[in-house]
């Protein structure tokens, strides 16, 4: 199985990651990727960068030979209404936008219905391309509704390598990701692949992503990241 694009990674700018942008890019190139996304945590995450960081992305070259770089953000979904922590005017300038639930920003202990509504409302945002790591058992979700909404809004659902690694801090991720993938197979909904790397050694690392995709016999045609060209063609078009 060839995965050519890493759609989720962080640098030291995110505050709790440990490699520079250059180190992450070089690691992606060394792993043979066609492209990767740098998606720093949005401002409500403790220790990350401010809005002005995201407003200056135009200065960053997007091509390194045959390697393509995407500059984006991992937003925090803040509530059941799908509120996120950057304004639309900034999001519209991003190459790629992930929206995720993080307990530090969203809180924990909310109901399955509340969590599901948070994701569904975020997906209505025309500038959000990906729902990040919707696999954490601490934040239960209705995967049937999630997948159907992803299909309706042309939003990609992420299979997150960091979530699946043994000893990770998220709960019941393997079973949850399998449930989501089985529904994606049935509904023919595309998924994306993110390393969620916070250090260069993990950039483009899809060890556990590949294993779970093989276990559920997930069809390659529904993997958005088998080429950079395919991935770009499947990104939600901004309104």
Alpha-carbon gap, residue 12 to 90, rounded angstroms: 21
Q: How many domains does the chain have?
A: 1
Mean pLDDT of the chain: 97
In Å, how far are 54, 64, 70, 174, 215 from 48, measured between CA atoms?
11, 26, 19, 28, 36
Residue 237 lies in a domain: no
Residue 226 lies in a domain: yes
Q: b or e along 152-170 (b: 16 or more beta carbons within 10 Å of the residue's beta carbon)?
A: ebebbbbbbbbbbeeebeb
In the three-class reduction of DSSP (H, G, I as helix; E, B as strand; rest coil), residue 73 is classed as strand
Q: Which tokens hold the place of 192?
A: 């994306």
What are 206-237's pLDDT values in tens digits? 999 999 999 999 999 999 999 999 999 999 76
Residue 160 lies in a domain: yes
Residue 238 lies in a domain: no
> Tell me, what's the pLDDT at 239?
43
Q: Longest Cα pair distance anywhere in the chain, in angstroms? A: 47
Report, as an integer, the average pLDDT of 41-51: 97
Residue 236 lies in a domain: no
In Å, how far are 1, 166, 211, 215, 224 from 21, measured between CA atoms?
27, 26, 28, 33, 24
Alpha-carbon gap, residue 38 to 96, rounded angstroms: 9
Report, as an integer, the average pLDDT of 123-136: 98
Residue 61 lies in a domain: yes
Residue 99 lies in a domain: yes
In Å, how far are 129, 152, 172 from 2, measured between CA atoms?
22, 27, 26
Residue 239 lies in a domain: no
Report, as an integer, the average pLDDT of 112-138: 97
Range of the domain at 198: 5-231
Whole-model pTM: value is: 0.97
CATH of the domain at 31: 3.20.20.140
């Amino acid at each position: 199985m060839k995965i050519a694009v890493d759609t989720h990674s962080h640098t030291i700018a995110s505050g709790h990651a440990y490699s520079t942008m250059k180190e992450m890019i070089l690691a992606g190139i060394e792993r043979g990727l066609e492209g990767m996304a740098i998606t720093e945590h949005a401002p409500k995450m403790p220790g990350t960068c401010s809005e002005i960081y995201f407003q200056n992305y135009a200065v960053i070259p997007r091509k390194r030979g045959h390697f393509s770089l995407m500059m984006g953000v991992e937003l925090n979904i803040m509530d059941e209404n799908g509120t996120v922590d950057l304004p639309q005017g900034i999001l519209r300038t991003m190459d790629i936008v992930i929206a995720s639930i993080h307990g530090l920003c969203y809180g924990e202990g909310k109901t399955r219905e509340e969590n599901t509504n948070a994701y569904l409302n975020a997906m209505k945002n025309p500038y959000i391309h990906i729902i990040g790591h919707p696999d954490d058992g601490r934040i239960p979700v209705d995967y049937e509704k999630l997948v159907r909404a992803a299909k309706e809004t042309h939003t990609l659902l992420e299979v997150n390598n960091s979530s699946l690694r043994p000893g990770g801090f998220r709960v019941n991720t393997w079973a949850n990701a399998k449930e989501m993938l089985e529904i994606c197979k049935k509904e023919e909904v595309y998924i994306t692949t993110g390393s969620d790397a916070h250090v260069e050694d993990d950039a483009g690392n899809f060890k556990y992503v590949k294993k779970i995709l093989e276990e559920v016999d997930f069809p390659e045609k529904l993997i958005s990241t088998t080429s950079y060209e395919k991935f770009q063609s499947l990104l939600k078009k901004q309104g």
